[in-house]
Amino acid sequence: MRGIILTLALIAVAGMAINTTPYFPIALGHEWVYQDSSEAGYDTSRALVSGMTTIHGHETFIVTKRGVEGIDSSFYQVRPEGFYEMFNLYVEMADISIENYPVLFMKNPAEIGERWAAMSIDTSMMVMGFPVDLTIDVIAEFEGFHDLILPIGDMRDCIKITALADWKIDAGALFADSGQDLYSISYYVENVGLVSQTEFDIMGAMMGGSMDATTSKLISYDFSSIEELIDRPEGMELSAFPNPFNSAVTIRLPSADVRRVEIFDVTGRVVETLDVPSGAGFVGWEPSQTAQSGVYFIKAFAPAAEFSTRAVYLK
């Protein structure tokens, strides 16, 4: 009897459309820390929602990822029909560039077993003077719910999305090749977001090389950085309010000994240095007209200590 009930429950879930919006919570200041593994070894990276822009007429989140190899930016959109990542392709020897092609990683709503066209590219290029046709079609599938053991701990009821790429290269009489390979395997948790993802090097496979894979697993996440800090007690820590802000921000200093405050953007560049009058408890900052919306890091310097916080600027 228990087996019959379980089977009926699975059938009911499989036929039910699920609102997937809570599975990609993304807002300015949200941060995820991942353990990345590949054939080269292990690394730790931080993904921070650092700014906003507009691509193809849609509001777009800029996610800055920091790892041992440097800083990289990705672009994401949350539309009514689902969650998109902007795809970029550059083939140096072919002098071809595809920028900000929207890939529908997660459809909304979605049913278990449902498939959808995530990406379809059909383009031509010149390689060493020869015309080459390239097509890439990616189909994503909502495979169901799974439990994972991750560095952050046990994660239950993770949505699993598997993406397959059908590709074809045609250079006429010179050569032609085609194949079907895994594009990515992703797991999402409600109100947390992406908790595990394996990405495969499709271009490596298409160019006749090995298809390397990189897996990222969630270590921790922090969604608290955009909360209002105005009610925190003085003297406890460096804080900024209002936060987010859209014209000027007041920085509450943790010590009367602070003499200098520096403002950094997400690349680590100092955008402004503020001199603090002796004994001051507050200092203000007004971003320049050229400053971009996004996350800014604030560091206060006292003779015997340093303090840091961050604030979100919204134009």
Structural domains present in the chain:
17-222 (2.40.360), 239-313 (2.60.40.1930)
Three-state DSSP state, 21 = helix
Cα–Cα distance measured from residue 229 to residue 252, given in angstroms and rounded to the nearest whole number: 10
Q: Exposed/middle/buried for 139, CB within 10 Å: 0-12, 13-18, 19+?
A: middle
pLDDT at 207: 65
pLDDT at 91: 61
Residues in the chain predicted with pLDDT less than 50, given as ranges, are 1-13, 225-235
DSSP string for residues in 59-109? EEEEEEEEETTEEEEEEEEEETTEEEEEEEEEEGGGTEEEEEEEEEEEESS
pLDDT at 224: 66
Q: Exposed/middle/buried for 250, CB within 10 Å: 0-12, 13-18, 19+?
A: middle
The model's pTM is 0.72
pLDDT at 231: 41
**Which DSSP letter does residue 204 get?**
H
pLDDT at 212: 76
Question: 282-307 pLDDT, tens per residue?
Answer: 888 999 888 888 888 999 988 878 88
Distances (CA, A) of 5 to 146, 212, 234: 19, 42, 58
Distances (CA, A) of 186 to 8, 23, 214: 27, 12, 12
* Tokens matching residue 310: 């961050």
pLDDT at 90: 65
Question: 175-210 pLDDT, tens per residue?
Answer: 788 889 999 999 999 999 999 999 988 776 676 656
